[in-house]
């Protein structure tokens, strides 16, 4: 009889808001959910990033909208912001967040408001724990 045990990464769940996340766990989640480019970026940068961080959900925003939990799409957006990169990469991360929010909630308006908020509030110059490239500003 064939052993049908799933590989460990196949059963990983998205962290809940306020869970501590390791970069290793984030890489596995990205691989598991098809965010292969992000997984590679995290892998390549892992020695420069903190070993772990507290996932705050959708930073200073709602973790659900009209009964739809949205923190899953925020998790991958936070991983993008952790590693940072070019302004074009930031724009794509914010666009992907907006796209994911529309898919999860069906609300273009909510997505547009959120997109505007992260474009303004996520600037690296703010140097906050949710700013673009915040992983390089944290203690390692």
Q: Of all residues in the chain, what percent carry a pLDDT higher than 70?
A: 90
Chain-centre distance for alpha carbon 96: 10
pTM for the structure as a whole: 0.88
CB 108 within 8 A of CB 102: yes
Q: How does pLDDT run across 32-53, given as a tens digit for each residue? A: 999 999 999 999 999 999 999 9
Q: Is residue 52 part of a domain?
A: yes
Domain with 31, as residue range(s), is 17-136
| The Cα angle at residue 94 between residues 91 and 100, in degrees rounded to 5 | 140
Q: Is residue 45 part of a domain?
A: yes
Q: Is residue 49 part of a domain?
A: yes
Q: How many domains does the chain have?
A: 1
**Residue 6: pLDDT band with limits 50, 70, 90:** very low
Is the sign of the CA dihedral 97, 26, 56, 126 positive or negative? negative
Q: Is residue 10 part of a domain?
A: no
Q: How does pLDDT run across 71-103, given as a tens digit for each residue? A: 999 999 999 999 999 999 999 999 999 999 999
Q: Give the CA distances from residue 140 to residues 13, 46, 70, in Å, rounded to whole numbers and listed in that order.
A: 24, 10, 28
For the chain, the average pLDDT equals 91
Q: Is residue 38 part of a domain?
A: yes
């Amino acid at each position: 009889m064939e052993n049908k045990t799933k590989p460990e990464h196949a059963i990983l769940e998205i962290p809940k808001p306020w869970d501590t996340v390791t970069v290793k766990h984030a890489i596995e989640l990205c691989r598991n959910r098809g965010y292969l480019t992000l997984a590679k970026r995290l892998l390549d940068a892992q020695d420069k990033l903190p070993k772990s961080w507290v996932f705050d959900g959708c930073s200073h925003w709602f973790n659900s909208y009209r009964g739809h939990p949205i923190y899953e799409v925020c998790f991958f957006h936070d991983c993008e912001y952790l590693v940072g990169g070019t302004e074009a990469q930031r724009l794509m991360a914010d666009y992907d967040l907006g796209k994911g929010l529309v898919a999860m909630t069906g609300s273009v308006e909510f997505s547009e408001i959120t997109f505007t908020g992260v474009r303004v509030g996520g600037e690296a110059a703010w140097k906050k724990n949710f700013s673009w490239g915040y992983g390089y500003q944290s203690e390692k």
